Amino acid sequence: MEAEQRNQAVPAVEIADLSVAYDSALALDKVDLALPAGQLIAVAGPNGAGKSTLLRTLVGSLKPRSGRVLIHGEDAERQRRSGQIAYMPQHEQVDWDFPLSVGDVVLCGRYGRMRMEGGWRRFLLPVMASDRHRDAAREALQAVDMEDNIDRPIETLSGGQRKRVLLARALAQDARLLLLDEPLVGVDRRSEELIMRVLCRQRDQGRTVVMVTHDIAGARRDADFAVLINRRVVGAGDPNKLLSDDMISRTATDAWLSNRGKRYSPDLLEIA
């Protein structure tokens, strides 16, 4: 219990003076932020605010121009190598027409764990995984109510089912930090409710869940902590106070005025 309390006392994410750019266009500008561990955290902001950029920087797919990122009190790269960060991107680079089964896709989430195994096992393809990894993939599918579809071709899945499979792949990584970019976009109501139940359950089990969302009402209802950004941190804290209609409206207006002033710049990129 004492060890768990110490883990919760250390922020899941600590960011200091972080700037990230696409060519000369700043996506994040001198961001300072601390995200509490063991909570469901909603990241909100207007289009082009840098929400997806923030997650991609945490997962290591974007290199910052400046600043420092700590995950669970350690260097972010060390946490990535130890498999403690799972990521579900908004636009998944999956060829849904490729002849893969649902189980194959989720088992790919175990690849990092397989590489950490000693000896020749780290060179195995995911399809040659041991029962331990297959059981983890099956449990992840069970969590999102897709276990009965484990042998189903992915090309036959609906939009909501695809999101649930990708969530299962992230869960299969067994990471302490879950990063999800718009997990509720393009899903039906049943899948939306199921996904949120899964995320709340992950939070209750001690994991930190960071979710980019445009569902402000849902974030006020379900999140423990919220971050409002517009290339810089507008505020962080109580979702009901921070994500008020007035705060959202003012942030959106500021973003529109900022983009309008730069609309003729050839370097301007629309960054989600």
| CATH number of the domain where residue 59 is located | 3.40.50.300
Q: Is residue 13 in a domain?
A: yes
Structural domain boundaries enclosing 124: 94-174
115 shares its domain with 200: no
- Residue 114 — pLDDT band, cuts 50, 70, 90? confident
Q: What span, in angstroms and rounded, lies between the C-alpha atoms of 57 and 69? A: 9
Q: Whole-prediction pTM value?
A: 0.86
Query: Is residue 150 within 8 Å of residue 140, measured between CB atoms?
Result: no
Assess whether 119 and 250 both reside in one domain: no
List CB contacts of 251: < 8 A, sequence separation 6 or more: 45, 46, 49, 228, 230, 234
If asked whether residues 183 and 264 sit together in one domain, one would say yes
Inter-residue contact 223 to 239 (CB < 8 Å): yes
**Same domain? 264 vs 225:** yes
Rounded mean pLDDT, 230-249: 92
**How high is the pLDDT of residue 169?**
94
Number of domains in the chain: 2
- Whether residues 127 and 253 share a domain: the answer is no
Tell me whether residue 153 is in a domain.
yes
Identify whether 89 is part of a domain. Answer: no
CA dist 190 and 33 (Å) reads 33
pLDDT in tens, 46-74: 988 999 999 999 999 999 999 999 999 99
Residue where a domain stops, chosen among 139, 174, 209? 174
Q: In whole angstroms, what is the distance from residue 46 CA to residue 49 CA?
A: 5
Q: From 30, 72, 43, 4, select the one nearest 210 (Cα to Cα).
A: 43
